[in-house]
A = this chain, B = another copy of it.
C-alpha cells in the first residue's frame, strides 16, 4: 500500500520530537496504521539546521504555503505555534483538502470554530490530541470512549508548569517566586512563563475539553481564568491542615442554568487521585452519568509526550482518511449539526465551597462581625480556625459550605471594608470532585 505523505510545519521541540518518533518507531507505527507514514516536506525558519536533522530525502523550505499546496501531501502537521502564520497555513491546508494534525491549543481555543467549520465543509479532518494534556489520549477518551454518557463535569490538572510549582511550594515550603525560579532553572517553566502561571494555557485547553464534553462551540473568551501568582505558601499549609491540597484546575460543569467554565487554584480533598498528581504530570477526571468517574493521567507536555499524541493522530487520520466525511469521527465529538448553544454560566452564578483567609486585629467581636456578614449573604461555615500572627494580629481561616459566588463577592466586599481587617481577604474555591 502507498505510504501516507506528511508535510511538517515546524521542527522545534514538538516538530523535532514528531520526526524522531516517526523514524524511531517506524515499523511499530506501520504495523498499526497499515501503511508507512512518511514526512516528505518540512517548513522551518532555519533551513540548514533542518536539513541536518531530516537529511536529503526530505524537501525543506521556509514557505509553509508551498507545502500545504503540494498535491502529493495527504496530511499537514502544524507545529509552528502562534496564531498568525499557523492560522493562515492551517486554513489554506483545509482549502486544499488536506487533513490537519495540530498541537496548537492557542490557535484552536481562539479560532477553532472557524477552523472546524471550514474543515467540516471541505470534508477534511482536524485532529488535535496533542493540544490538550500532551501524551494523555484525553481527546479520544471524551470524543470516542465516553460517547454513551451525558458528561456531567470534568476537572483537570492540565498545565504541568503550575503543577510543578505547586508541588514544590508544598513539599519544600517555597514561595511562589522561589518555586518559579526553580522551575525556570530546571526547564519546567519558560523564560516568559505568563501564559502558564496566569492560567491562560489551561484556559485554552479547558475551552477545547468543554466543547468535546458538552457539544458546545469553543469559547475561550468566556473562561474565568485565575492563575497561581498570588498564591501564598501559608494557604497551601492551611489547606493541608484541613486535609486539602491546592491544585490549579480547569473545571467545566453542566448545570441547569448553563456551563461552568473556569480555571483557578482549587482546594481538593487529599484522598482524591487528582491530589496525588505531583510535579509536571497532568490528569483529567471526567464524570459521566453512566460510567461514573474516570481519570486519565500522564505527561502533559514535553517533546516526546506531545509527539506521542501528534503521531497517534497521524495514525488515526491514516486509518480514516479514505472514509467519506460522514463517517469520520466528528472533530468536536458531536456532529456539526448537533452543537448546542447552552450558555456559559456567569461566574457570579457558580456554586462552590470556599476557603477564606483574612488577617484581623486579634480582639473580641471580630469573629462575630465577620460571621454576621457571611450569614447575611447566606454563606454558612463548615469549619474555621484561627492562627495568631504577631502580637496583635491573627489569621482567620474559614471553609464554607456551598454558596453562590455572587454572594461571596458581596460578603467579601463588606468584610474587606471592616476597620479591623488588615489584609486583602484571600478567597480560594473548594471542589469535592464527587
**A interface with B by C-beta (< 8 Å):** 1, 21, 24-25, 28-34, 129, 135-137, 140-141, 144-150, 215, 271, 273, 276-277, 283, 288-299, 304-305, 307-312, 315-316, 319-324, 326-330, 333-335, 338
> CA A167 – CA B213 in complex, angstroms?
32
> CA A338 – CA B338 in complex, angstroms?
39
17 A-B contact pairs sorted by A residue (CB < 8 Å)? A24-B290, A25-B150, A28-B149, A30-B338, A33-B147, A135-B294, A137-B140, A140-B144, A148-B309, A148-B311, A290-B307, A290-B308, A291-B298, A291-B299, A292-B304, A294-B296, A320-B323
> CA A319 – CA B334 in complex, angstroms?
12
Q: Does B136 contact A294, Cβ atoms closer than 8 Å? A: yes
Q: Is the interface of A mostly helix, strand, loop or mixed?
A: mixed
Known: A32-B147, A135-B290. Contact between A296 and B295, CB under 8 A?
yes
Q: Does B291 contact A144, Cβ atoms closer than 8 Å? A: no
> CA A1 – CA B140 in complex, angstroms?
25
Residues of B within 8 A of A305 (CB): 290-292
Q: Does A304 contact B316, Cβ atoms closer than 8 Å? A: no
Known: A25-B150, A25-B289, A295-B298. Contact between A330 and B34, CB under 8 A?
yes
In angstroms, how far is the closest chain B Cβ from the Cβ of A140?
Answer: 5
Q: Does A298 contact B289, Cβ atoms closer than 8 Å? A: no
Q: Does B338 contact A31, Cβ atoms closer than 8 Å? A: yes
> CA A284 – CA B206 in complex, angstroms?
25
Contact of A312 among B34, B145, B295 (CB under 8 A): B145
In angstroms, how far is the closest chain B Cβ from the Cβ of A307?
Answer: 6
A150 to B, closest residue via Cβ: B28
4 more A-B residue pairs beyond the given contacts A145-B312, A148-B315, A293-B297, with a C-beta to C-beta distance below 8 A: A28-B149, A135-B294, A293-B299, A295-B296
> CA A107 – CA B383 in complex, angstroms?
53
Residues of B within 8 A of A32 (CB): 147, 215, 330, 333-335, 338
Residues of B within 8 A of A34 (CB): 326, 330, 335
Q: Does B290 contact A298, Cβ atoms closer than 8 Å? A: no
In angstroms, how far is the closest chain B Cβ from the Cβ of A21?
Answer: 5
A147 to B, closest residue via Cβ: B315
